[in-house]
Structure 1
Amino acid sequence: MNEQQILPLDVRHGEISILGFRLDGLSYITDARFFSPETLKSLKQTEVLVMNALRFRYHPTHFTLDQTLEMIGQIQPRRAYLVHMTHDMQHAEVAKLLPPHVQLAYDNLEISW
């Protein structure tokens, strides 16, 4: 049996500290608004990043689309999938704004790495 290392990552959901996770080449972060320098370092160059992008406008506890794209630029994953979006994020319109290695996640999406 292959063992996987699961690394818990401290992220901020507004004023609350919550966990994201890195499982080998996959990193999963939702409900985040801020990463510590240590968490950012742990996320660097993950193969696949799944991360929240709530909406276009500022929110006190979640990254906006622009903030998420900025973090993706710093982390430099091979692929990134956006989750935890509001109804304001119209799939077809937002997809046109994304770099080629970033996609909107959807129900029943299967990811391999």
Structure 2
Amino acid sequence: MKKMQIFEGAVCASDGMCGLSVDQELMRIDTVVKVLQNNAYDIDRYIMPGDRKAFLENEVAGEFLRQNGNEALPLILLDGKKVLNGRFPTNDEIAQWLEVPNLPKLLEKK
């Protein structure tokens, strides 16, 4: 099974709540990650500053952050290798990378 890790910079809240407004992209990624985790897919999400230790313990993420700074986040790793940075992956990209044949149906059931 493939393993995906999402390393993000500081956000208002992991579910997309920013005061009285909602960041739709953060809300989408939060939902996708939770649905996949609940269906036994190996996907983790780390958010600065709360998950700083995960950034430092992951050699690829730590080096990426040192070289590029927070501005280049999010960083997406697949099986420990960088596949994307600077934006969140689309649902189609996630489904392809993690070999999820039925992601739209899983999201409907959430």
Do the two structures share a fold, i.e. TM-score over 0.5? no
TM (norm. structure 1) is 0.27
Larger helix proportion, structure 1 or 2? Answer: 2
TM (norm. structure 2) is 0.28
Which structure would you say has the larger RCO, counting Cα contacts within 8 Å and 6 or more residues apart?
2
